[in-house]
Chains A and B, each alone.
Chain A
Amino acid sequence: MSVAAGVVPPTARRRSGGTGSGGAGSSGAVALLVLPALVAFTAFGIIPLIGVVVLSFTTWDGIGTITPAGFANWATLLSDPQLPHALGVTFLIMVLCWLVQTPLSILIGVFISGQQRYRGVLAVLYFVPLLLSSAAIAIAYKALLDPNFGLGAGLGLQLLAQNWLGEPGLAVGVVVFVVSWQFIPFHSLIYQGAVRQIPVSLFEAATIDGAGRVRQFFSITLPQLKYTIITSSTLMAAGSLTFFDLIFVLTAGGPSDATRVLALDMYLRGFRGNLMGPASMIAVILVVVGLVIALALRRIGGTDPNASQLEGA
């Protein structure tokens, strides 16, 4: 099952990285170069995935014999109220994270794409959260948010001494905040690179035409970032689906399942409850949902990855 959990990231990476690779030559040399990656992907991606699909039709507690269960597992799981709840929580956190991260990442990305030295220094500082492991971040926030010994109690600020991880609404907010805190630097970096790719001539022409900064941002920068937004959103969506470590350490899915996302539900069923069949089903659902989202985002982005974004340039 731990192998199954590892299935999604490689496929997700493939999906997002797959844009714009068309048109390469189809000689034998290329096939040979592709071979190592193909073998690794088949061995560690495809084969475990098949294993998970097979396991999802069985009953297995991890140590006993694996007994086929037919569609009984699926019938039970699909009528389990826990599943729509976990799906709902997953999408809620996905959407909230996207809504918080995207605007902030674009703004920070545009800001640090400037060549001024102080912006370079700030860019390095912004990058720091990305260097910390999720578990470390979760433990640190857990300590900061402790109602008796955390930040609120330490600074004597009642506003900060809330039952952060104990109220369902607050806990979801905390998860979204911490996820955003951790990943905004990464997406800012993507946007920074993308903004620097925009030809300066576009801005120069707009300035001559009398467009102000705000107008330039909405009329030039944002449209030029279209594909970057799609890439970044795909990463966020796929990332949210497999989001596990931070939530596991921070809230363990609580309070009252308020933050029990699909990936966590899969782990808890599989490794805490030793119900490998249902856990495998959730893994299969995760893969399907991930594929659908990635494909949908590509569709939104247009089918031709080589289409010019520089009309009128």
Chain B
Amino acid sequence: MDLNRVSRRNFLAGVLGTAAAVPLGAALSACGTAGPGQAGAGEAGIWYLTGQPQESIRLAGIEAFNAANPNGKLASTFFQNDAYKTKIRTAVGAGQAPTIIWTWGGGGLRDYVKAKQVDDLTDWFASNPAVKDRLFSSAFGAATVDGRIYAIPCETVSPIVLFYNKKVFEQVGAQPPKTWGELMALVPVFTKAGIAPISLGGQSRWTNMMWLEYLFDRIGGPEVFTTIAAGTTPNAWSHPAAIDALTKIQELVKAGGFVTGFQSITADSNADQAVLYTGKAAMMLHGTWTYGNMRSAGGDFVTGGHLGYSAFPTVEGGKGDPGNTVGNPASYLAISSAASPEQKAIAQNYFAKGLLTDTEVDTWITKAGTVPIVNGADKKFSTGSDPTWLQFVYDLASKAPVFQQSWDQALSPAAAEVLLNSIEKLFGLTISPQQFADTMNAVPKS
């Protein structure tokens, strides 16, 4: 549950979204005595997200750093996910940002860069090559804007993988799909057995998006979306591969591939996972952050070995490398340009010495069951509860020729909102692939 909440950006669409609507005054008064982002003298402020087990790992990291650096401490404030999104933008816009700004990278970071609110870290990384080389190189893509690095990747990687329920596959005597054709062929097999082929939390919208992310890549290669994201080519969404992918997904919807009523199912309540582990559905495409909840809530589903997982199927005749992966490459920390030189020094010290320390790497693996973005972290997997799973995630992420960041985070927030809205309509079969492409092409490039 918690893993889910913090690993994604949009997820708590509902529940806590209302928290974001709380007037600013109330939010401000809840920020403790130091005031938001206004760390005391000789301190640098950092805002983090709440939610266990991540919160305690972050806090432990900061405490260890403060103990080792009594003259340059961090003052941390924790915020709930959706409340944070509104708050950090308001704070950055008002010049009240903390020294260290937590971001999801991609389009949101690009907005900060455009507004000249965050520091360029390219030169700092050049003079501290050890810091950069230690981390997954695939994690830096979403931290880079126009060739310059503006944030340091941190914490863990969450690729999107195809989960399946081994029990129901045995029941119908089928094998997990390796190709799109096999996937389509499985739909009538499961439907006949009274099992939904695929679980999907369609109300959350970004869940549907993951299907498109992979289909675009498998059919047309990663260039299709990178061209779209660059925003320089007109009508990039009308690429033949894009239209093909959009058509294929509607074929899957029409064939009854997704569980009946998927538009009513939400991912924030983890109901989509429940559909899979209760055996009501055979497959689910989801982020690796769902593993933790399926393990704790699914009875013996994970511990009994009934959870299967694989990379996304290939598409016959498609151009994309089967190793390409989509998902969340990391979390990111940027330095506010409004901070004082002393505060920036503390932040850089924290980036170099306080992030992903050996102790922290261990905790991510053992306590959270996640894969930190550190090269060679797999040597420690034997200490985790499910080394096979961790190794699968590690290989998927570290060996991916291209690790595409989730679209809604890679695009500008304005484009992402139109995208999610259009995806919902595409899956609801209320617009055609061509209409989808036209709508997206019309979104102003920023």
Minimum CB–CB distance for B209 against chain A, Å:
14
Give B residues with C-beta under 8 Å from A: 13-15, 17-18, 20-24, 85-86, 89-90, 92-93, 111-112, 114-115, 117, 202-203, 205, 259-266, 269, 271, 274-275, 280, 412-414, 416-418, 421, 424-425, 428, 430
- The answer to whether A63 touches B93, judged by C-beta atoms less than 8 angstroms apart, is yes
- Within 237-256 of A, Cβ neighbours of B (below 8 Å) are at 244-245, 248-252, 254-256
- The answer to whether B92 touches A273, judged by C-beta atoms less than 8 angstroms apart, is no
Minimum CB–CB distance for A249 against chain B, Å:
4
**How many angstroms from the CA of A5 to the CA of B23 in the assembled complex?**
9
Residue from A63, A164, A252 within 8 A of B89 (CB atoms): A63
Question: A148-B265, A162-B261, A268-B417 known; A64 and B111 CB under 8 Å?
Answer: yes
In the complex formed, the residue of B with least CB distance to A153 is B280
Binds B, one of A96-104, A135-143, A222-230: A135-143
**How many angstroms from the CA of A255 to the CA of B112 in the assembled complex?**
32
A residues near B262, Cβ cutoff 8 Å = 166
- The answer to whether B21 touches A5, judged by C-beta atoms less than 8 angstroms apart, is yes
B residues near A267, Cβ cutoff 8 Å = 21
A residues near B430, Cβ cutoff 8 Å = 256
A8 on interface, CB distance cutoff 8 Å: no
B residues near A142, Cβ cutoff 8 Å = 14, 266, 269
Minimum CB–CB distance for B442 against chain A, Å:
11
A residues near B90, Cβ cutoff 8 Å = 62
Minimum CB–CB distance for B283 against chain A, Å:
15
Question: A251-B203, A273-B413 known; A135 and B260 CB under 8 Å?
Answer: no
In the complex formed, the residue of A with least CB distance to B117 is A63
- The answer to whether B261 touches A166, judged by C-beta atoms less than 8 angstroms apart, is yes
**How many angstroms from the CA of A134 to the CA of B414 in the assembled complex?**
27
**How many angstroms from the CA of A257 to the CA of B205 in the assembled complex?**
12
- The answer to whether B424 touches A146, judged by C-beta atoms less than 8 angstroms apart, is no
**How many angstroms from the CA of A165 to the CA of B264 in the assembled complex?**
5
The B interface, classified by DSSP as helix, strand, loop or mixed, is: helix
B residues near A162, Cβ cutoff 8 Å = 261
- The answer to whether B115 touches A249, judged by C-beta atoms less than 8 angstroms apart, is no
In the complex formed, the residue of A with least CB distance to B17 is A248
Question: A64-B114, A143-B269 known; A249 and B15 CB under 8 Å?
Answer: yes
Give A residues with C-beta under 8 Å from B: 2-3, 5-6, 61-65, 134-135, 138-139, 142-143, 145-149, 161-167, 244-245, 248-252, 254-257, 267-269, 271-275
Please provide the 5 A-B residue pairs with the shortest distance between their CB atoms, ordered closest to farther. A166-B263, A147-B261, A249-B14, A163-B261, A63-B93
A residues near B424, Cβ cutoff 8 Å = 254-256
Task: Sample 22 A-B pairs with CB under 8 A, ordered by A number.
Answer: A2-B22, A5-B21, A61-B111, A62-B89, A64-B93, A135-B18, A142-B14, A142-B266, A148-B261, A165-B203, A165-B263, A165-B264, A245-B18, A252-B14, A252-B203, A254-B263, A255-B263, A255-B424, A256-B430, A257-B421, A273-B416, A273-B418
**How many angstroms from the CA of A272 to the CA of B85 in the assembled complex?**
9
A residues near B85, Cβ cutoff 8 Å = 271
Question: A142-B269, A248-B18 known; A148 and B259 CB under 8 Å?
Answer: yes
- The answer to whether B274 touches A148, judged by C-beta atoms less than 8 angstroms apart, is yes
- The answer to whether B413 touches A166, judged by C-beta atoms less than 8 angstroms apart, is no
**How many angstroms from the CA of A269 to the CA of B421 in the assembled complex?**
12
- The answer to whether B425 touches A166, judged by C-beta atoms less than 8 angstroms apart, is no
Minimum CB–CB distance for B414 against chain A, Å:
4
In the complex formed, the residue of A with least CB distance to B13 is A252
B residues near A245, Cβ cutoff 8 Å = 18, 21
In the complex formed, the residue of A with least CB distance to B95 is A63
**How many angstroms from the CA of A127 to the CA of B134 in the assembled complex?**
61
Question: A63-B89, A139-B14 known; A146 and B21 CB under 8 Å?
Answer: no
Minimum CB–CB distance for B136 against chain A, Å:
28
Question: A63-B112, A163-B264, A165-B263 known; A272 and B417 CB under 8 Å?
Answer: yes
A residues near B271, Cβ cutoff 8 Å = 146, 148-149
Question: A5-B21, A267-B21 known; A138 and B92 CB under 8 Å?
Answer: no
Minimum CB–CB distance for B434 against chain A, Å:
17
Minimum CB–CB distance for A153 against chain B, Å:
9
- The answer to whether A250 touches B421, judged by C-beta atoms less than 8 angstroms apart, is no
**How many angstroms from the CA of A267 to the CA of B85 in the assembled complex?**
13
In the complex formed, the residue of A with least CB distance to B408 is A272
Q: A165-B263, A249-B17 are in contact. List 19 more A-B contacts (CB 8 A).
A: A64-B111, A135-B14, A142-B14, A142-B269, A148-B261, A148-B271, A148-B275, A148-B280, A161-B261, A163-B260, A163-B264, A164-B264, A165-B203, A245-B21, A254-B205, A254-B263, A272-B416, A273-B417, A274-B413
Which among A245, A248, A256 has the highest number of chain B CB atoms within 10 Å? A256
Minimum CB–CB distance for B237 against chain A, Å:
18
In the complex formed, the residue of A with least CB distance to B415 is A273
Question: A3-B24, A249-B14, A255-B424 known; A149 and B261 CB under 8 Å?
Answer: no
B residues near A164, Cβ cutoff 8 Å = 261, 264
Residue from A3, A61, A147, A257 within 8 A of B265 (CB atoms): A147
**How many angstroms from the CA of A63 to the CA of B89 in the assembled complex?**
6
- The answer to whether B21 touches A62, judged by C-beta atoms less than 8 angstroms apart, is no
B residues near A61, Cβ cutoff 8 Å = 111, 115, 413-414
**How many angstroms from the CA of A272 to the CA of B82 in the assembled complex?**
11
**How many angstroms from the CA of A148 to the CA of B201 in the assembled complex?**
11
Residue from B18, B275, B414 within 8 A of A273 (CB atoms): B414
**How many angstroms from the CA of A3 to the CA of B90 in the assembled complex?**
13
B residues near A64, Cβ cutoff 8 Å = 93, 111, 114-115
**How many angstroms from the CA of A179 to the CA of B275 in the assembled complex?**
29
B residues near A135, Cβ cutoff 8 Å = 14-15, 18
Minimum CB–CB distance for A148 against chain B, Å:
5
Which among A139, A163, A166, A244 has the highest number of chain B CB atoms within 10 Å? A166
Which among B111, B205, B421 has the highest number of chain A CB atoms within 10 Å? B421
B residues near A143, Cβ cutoff 8 Å = 269
Question: A148-B261, A162-B261, A268-B417 known; A244 and B21 CB under 8 Å?
Answer: yes
- The answer to whether A254 touches B203, judged by C-beta atoms less than 8 angstroms apart, is yes
Minimum CB–CB distance for B98 against chain A, Å:
14
- The answer to whether B20 touches A271, judged by C-beta atoms less than 8 angstroms apart, is yes
**How many angstroms from the CA of A164 to the CA of B260 in the assembled complex?**
11
